[in-house]
A and B are shown apart, each in its own frame.
Chain A
Amino acid sequence: RKEVEQDPGPFNVPEGATVAFNCTYSNSASQSFFWYRQDCRKEPKLLMSVYSSGNEDGRFTAQLNRASQYISLLIRDSKLSDSATYLCVVKGGSYIPTFGRGTSLIVHP
């Protein structure tokens, strides 16, 4: 089993839709969780950290479920500019960050 798993997609949604991605991780001792965004042929950039109680940043909501070992990202009111690859990142007790393969989102008019 891979350390961090994501459905590669693509998720193809219309503007204004709500879309959710999940990411599962195998190491129960993992301590820090993040979502990064990567545009085509660009470097990854931090979208948001994921906190145990869940957190929201505008149209984006991140959740952590430690019991089932997954994190989620919810995007409301999708915009064309949200089209990108969303990378899940998990950091264990050794402080080594592991990236998932990413989930591709395509938002169409």
Chain B
Amino acid sequence: EAGVAQSPRYKIIEKRQSVAFWCNPISGHATLYWYQQILGQGPKLLIQFQNNGVVDDSQLPKDRFSAERLKGVDSTLKIQPAKLEDSAVYLCASSLDLLRGNTIYFGEGSWLTVV
């Protein structure tokens, strides 16, 4: 079974530029998560989708971050404009659904460096 796919794997941009990350969850998974993980810290939830609806985005810096999952399958996370402190790994994850999907499966992550 294919896992969670993410691209690009690595990205280096200058501050104030924009960047977009793409994620394709495991087939049939209704719940999709975007986490930000800064070196030495645990993953921090940015946004959680159930199909194409947002379950939680309370920690998403909405002045610069946006995410969408228009058709309830793949998703994009955008940062515009980027700041130095956005340097992190952006982990996309999916689970079967909110109620039954206890196991969260992660992609390999998109490593962002802002210089």
A positions within 8 Å CB-CB of B: 4, 6, 8, 32, 34, 36, 42-46, 49, 87, 89, 91, 94-102
Contacts and interface: CB of A to CB of B under 8 A. Distances in A.
B44 A43 contact: no
13 contacts: A36-B104, A42-B108, A44-B106, A46-B103, A49-B102, A87-B43, A95-B55, A95-B98, A95-B99, A96-B56, A99-B45, A101-B40, A102-B42
A89 B108 CA distance: 19
Contacts of B48: 96
Interface of A is mostly: strand
A101 B40 CA distance: 7
Contact of A46 (B41, B44, B45, B104): B104
Nearest to A95: B98
A99 B55 contact: no
B34 to A, nearest CB: 12
B91 interface: yes
- On chain B, which size bracket covers the interface? 20 to 34
Contact of B44 (A45, A94, A99, A102): A99
A99 B41 CA distance: 10
Interface in B35-76: 35, 40-45, 48, 55-56
Contacts of B40: 8, 101
Q: Which of A8, A44, A49, A94 has the most chain B CB atoms closer than 10 A to its own CB? A: A44
Contacts of A8: 40
A36 B55 CA distance: 22
Contact of B45 (A36, A44, A98): A98
B42 A87 contact: yes
A94 B42 contact: no
